[in-house]
Structure 1
Amino acid sequence: MLEPHLTLTMALGEGPHWDGYQQRLHWVDILGGELHQLDPDTNQHQVWRFDEPLAYAVPNDKGGYLAAFRSGLWQLDDRGQKQHQLVEGPQNPDISWCNDGYCDAHGRLWIGTKNAEESEPTAALFSYQGDVRQHVDGVTISNGLAVSPDNRWLYFSDTPTHRIYRYPLDIDQGTLGQPELFADTRALALPGSPDGAAIDEAGHYWAAMYGGGVVVHFDEQGNVVETLPLLAPNPTKVAFGDSDLRTLYVTCARQGMEQTTLDQYPDAGSLFSMRVATPGLPDHRYRDTGGDTT
């Protein structure tokens, strides 16, 4: 079972990313506009706060961070301070804004958006590596981004549909083929809705189930291997971390929870973890193919 690793009260914890260079875990509180960093060896925990919601942040191989804010993509310095905006959007923030993010093995950022009201299919999936390219439209809440160990498949879900898809990926060109259904979580009678995910070195897909209080471990064919409970109803995304990539970290949210529910789940909004048998795939830094970021 997943246990509290760091007690927090995040409104919408999201986007855990393990940086193997720093040996640090990074994640965000979207609604709090916070970037968190944790050294698991020393338990040193840092928080940088911003003036707007922050959906995802990933270390940049040229220094600092690439951060997806509601206003668009920004370059941050090593101290988590905004340096300059790289691109607006990629959509009108009154309609849709950045949500789930992932960097592939070429250092390309895949960033999905969500409808501002979480009710209409106005969002989309984009990639960014110096320029923005749109790949999928008609999305309500982008989630579940991950890439298979052989770089042949990109996984993606639109949370309200309860469906996880995988797209043939041309990793060199950064293009996607026609999707196939990987798992229908409603048909599988799984609790909650598919949120953020990660893949282990065996190619198994681990997905947080928002509203379901579990992380679901799927095999390569989309069969359920196990469900892992945590004492928080809204897990949001998972990441594999630590030096051996065998600690499963899970962020979660406490937004919209009634006080009676918060009393029942006092660790809602915390960072959870557990040890697992199979290591995860290494997370990748953003690789800037343009000029200097400083």
Structure 2
Amino acid sequence: MPAPALLIPHWTALTTEPDGLGESPFWHPQEERLYWVDIPGRRIGRVGVQGLQAQGPVDYWPLTQEPGCIAPVQGGGLVMALRDGIYLAREWGGPLQLLAAAPYDTGKQRFNDGKCDAQGRFWAGSLYEPKDQKLGVLYMLDGQGLHAMLGGDKDGVVTANGLAWSPDGRTAYWADTAAHQVRAFDFDAASGQLSAGRVFHHMAPKPAGWTWGDAEFYGGRPDGAAVDSEGCYWSAQYEGGRLLRLSPQGEVLADLPTPALCPTMPCFGGEDLKTLFITTARHGRSQAELAQYPGAGCVWAMRVDVAGVPVNGFVDRVPKKLADLGIEPLPARGVKITNELIDRLRDQSGI
């Protein structure tokens, strides 16, 4: 195997106001906007982008809880995993509708990395904040409810990260950040079931007692990820200051330095999906490190030679209102429940 290419990228800062911990970026092609979250800042950001330039100031939506991840909704809106549950917003800044309550102790866990699959199901992994037990779980939300798909006592993680799917939809990837490894699974698109889990790529462990500035090289640990149209997996290396491009066989094809020591998640966007965006972090980092990386916490962009794949949208199976089903409410008495109504609701929800 040839040595991986060490590319010297030309990053452009897309934002100037840094986030504490930027995450979950996605490109909205119809709006020509980039969306992302600031987890400790409890806000969602979005900005129009042309080329490598932001079009106007960043528009922030403040929230009352930490947003772990977001995804677009087919037909408009956002689905978001907050600390205490998964919510639907039908418009920017609008009211939130609870789709599923968090199935864990919200005092010790929160949702972290996630996105939608090609079938419109929303997936979100959890993070165990005490960091002393592998209680992180990968959940999937569909028309039947919220399901635990991976993790728990058997194969749990401390921090769920790096969720992505191969372009053909047959392989799913999930990173175990604390274990410094990315796993691959056979993925059944029809059922959403994952099987045949194996180690896709293992990163070198963190040296005991390592802190920023130590002479010993530390390559970081896997955070968020994206997949390109050639089936390669791009993994942000938190504390490694780099972005790895891995082949479908898990080999390192390219090693890209990033403008922050803690890159968090890449995504592809732009008209041709050849603009690479990356979110970064500064929350909890030392002043010495931030002096070396003043752009930490900002969103960055660069052009690449390979295209990404379009973002998947969430299929909203919740009726917006009764009139959308052709049902007229009875004045002052609610709705008359009939077999026809039950059938319509069942068809709408996918049950």
TM-score where L is the length of structure 1: 0.95
Match status 1:277 vs 2:289: no
Match status 1:14 vs 2:53: no
Match of 1:61 in 2: 74
Match status 1:47 vs 2:60: yes
Match of 1:165 in 2: 183
* Counterpart code for 2:169: N
Match status 1:79 vs 2:79: no
* Counterpart code for 1:174: G
- Cα deviation, residue 258, structure 1: 1.5
Q: Distance in 2 between matches of 1:118 and 1:253?
A: 19
Match status 1:89 vs 2:98: no
Match status 1:181 vs 2:209: no
Q: Distance in 2 between matches of 1:198 and 1:128?
A: 20
Match status 1:38 vs 2:38: no
Match status 1:123 vs 2:136: yes
- The one-character-per-residue Cα deviations of 1:26-84 (angstroms, maximum 9, x if unpaired) are 10001111111111026232111111111112121243211111111111231223322
Match status 1:234 vs 2:270: no
Is residue 157–residue 178 contact of structure 2 (8 Å, CA) maintained in 1? no
Match of 1:195 in 2: 223
* Counterpart code for 2:125: G
Alignment partner for residue 124 of structure 2, among 93, 111, 130? 111
Specify the SS of the correspondent of 2:106: coil
- The one-character-per-residue Cα deviations of 1:239-259 (angstroms, maximum 9, x if unpaired) are 000110001100011011122
Q: Distance in 2 between matches of 1:71 and 1:81?
A: 18
Q: Which moved more, 1:106-115 or 1:19-28?
A: 19-28
Q: Distance in 1 between matches of 2:240 and 2:66?
A: 25
Is residue 70–residue 115 contact of structure 2 (8 Å, CA) maintained in 1? no
Specify the SS of the correspondent of 1:179: strand
Specify the SS of the correspondent of 1:6: coil
* Counterpart code for 1:139: V
TM-score where L is the length of structure 2: 0.80
Q: Distance in 2 between matches of 1:135 and 1:178?
A: 13
- The one-character-per-residue Cα deviations of 1:182-217 (angstroms, maximum 9, x if unpaired) are 100117x97000000000000000010000010011
Match status 1:5 vs 2:33: no
Greater RCO (Cα-Cα under 8 Å, separation 6 or more) = 1
Question: Structure 2 regions of 5+ residues with no counterpart?
Answer: 1-8, 206-216, 323-351
Is residue 137–residue 149 contact of structure 2 (8 Å, CA) maintained in 1? yes
Is residue 19–residue 284 contact of structure 1 (8 Å, CA) maintained in 2? no
Q: Distance in 1 between matches of 2:218 and 2:260?
A: 16
Aligned residues: 293
Q: Which portions of structure 1, spanning 4 or more consecutive aligned residues, are displaced by more than 3 angstroms?
A: none
Match of 2:341 in 1: none
- The one-character-per-residue Cα deviations of 1:215-235 (angstroms, maximum 9, x if unpaired) are 011111111111111221100
Match status 1:243 vs 2:271: yes
* Counterpart code for 2:98: Q
* Counterpart code for 1:141: T
RMSD: 1.7
Q: Which moved more, 1:79-88 or 1:51-60?
A: 79-88
* Counterpart code for 2:67: L
Specify the SS of the correspondent of 2:191: coil
Q: Distance in 1 between matches of 2:119 and 2:191?
A: 10
Match of 2:83 in 1: 70
Match of 2:166 in 1: 148
Q: Distance in 1 between matches of 2:16 and 2:248?
A: 33
* Counterpart code for 1:89: A
Is residue 129–residue 288 contact of structure 1 (8 Å, CA) maintained in 2? no
Question: Structure 1 regions of 5+ residues with no counterpart?
Answer: none
Choose 1 or 2 for highest CA Rg: 2
